[in-house]
Amino acid sequence: MNIIHCDESYAQAWDEYLSHHEQASFYHLFGWKRVNEASFGHQTFYLAAVDEGRIRGVFPLVSLKSRIFGNILCSLPFVNYGGPCADEAEIEQLLLNEAGAIVERHRFDYLEIRSQRKLGGDLPTSEHKVSITLTLDKNPDTLWNAFKTGHRNNIRRAYKRGLSVRSGGIELLDTFYDILSESWRNLGTPLYQKEYFECLMKTFPQETRIFVLDHDGVPVSSALNGHFHGVVEGMWLGALPKAREVESSYVLYWEMMKDACERGFQLYHLGRSTVDSGGEAFKKKWNTYPTQLYWQYIVQSGRPIPQLNVGNPKFQLAMSVWRMLPLPLTRVIGPVVAKGIP
């Protein structure tokens, strides 16, 4: 068994391996290597365990440098999860060992592994995030009839406020980005450059879809989803103040769920949420269930594990200042900051 560092020549074999692996997700696909390198210039380490010419496990890693977060390695940054996929626990451990060697060799402060399951060994672990999942049905009426009466009434009431949803591909990118950039500014969070999303959609034209919600014909909310292995991944969603006034989330989520059902998907991951947060509470209204996410760490010898918490007064102050900045300014300096925030 050899652990190799994959270049573009392994792309097809990498994705072919993932297509048959139950732990694989949209985020594991090889195209993300190109997206992170082309959009941000980030160095990547795409590890594969190879036995007699056949891939037996993969582990995507991306490096980031930031004054706030340090010189770190992540699997995977900017998205909901990553981590290793392997045929056996022993192969997984070989991939983890090589990742640890990379941390030491390149003097990264730490490796953050965003995993859907707890990995082997005794890695320091944070359990502050959960993934919210909905089981779909070919007939969306099955989902509708299972909702509580009050929830169905909330959706009906929102429709009466002049809301409609359209969906498509990269032709909706400008609208999506305009909404997302203002939404994230209002939340106090820097956003990546539009070219990142453009590169993503060009790399995965069949696996990505944008939804735009209009209020009386004016776009007020939008989302970008990914698709792989019968699973819809809710990746980014933004809403303007008007969208919240008319409770547009009820209509947008329902239309995305109906679309997923009608296109034959089995699961819908509504994205990650902080445990016991308002976001988690809203997503539970859709008869979803939470799955624990495990953020595990490999650190340089002698270093403590990172203590990163948005509740930290230092981060709260920075977010407050960001909310007050003019939107055009945040679009200029935001991408420079955002590319270093995992």
Give residue-wise pLDDT tens across range 195-251: 999 999 999 999 999 999 999 999 999 999 999 999 999 999 999 999 999 999 999
Describe the strand order of the beta sheet including 231-239 as a list of residue ranges.
163-168, 208-215, 218-228, 231-239, 267-274, 129-135, 289-292
Q: What is the pLDDT along the chain (342 residues), one digit of tens a residue?
A: 899 999 999 999 999 999 999 899 999 999 999 999 999 999 999 999 999 989 999 999 999 988 777 889 999 999 999 999 999 999 999 999 999 999 999 999 999 999 999 897 788 888 888 889 999 999 999 999 999 999 999 999 999 999 999 999 999 999 999 999 999 999 999 999 999 999 999 999 999 999 999 999 999 999 999 999 999 999 999 999 999 999 999 999 999 999 999 999 999 999 887 776 777 788 989 999 998 999 999 987 666 666 665 555 566 777 788 788 888 888 988 888 888 888
Contact by Cβ (8 Å): 86, 79: no
31-58: per-residue pLDDT in tens? 999 999 999 999 999 999 999 989 999 9
Maximum Cα interatomic distance, the chain, rounded to a whole number of Å: 61
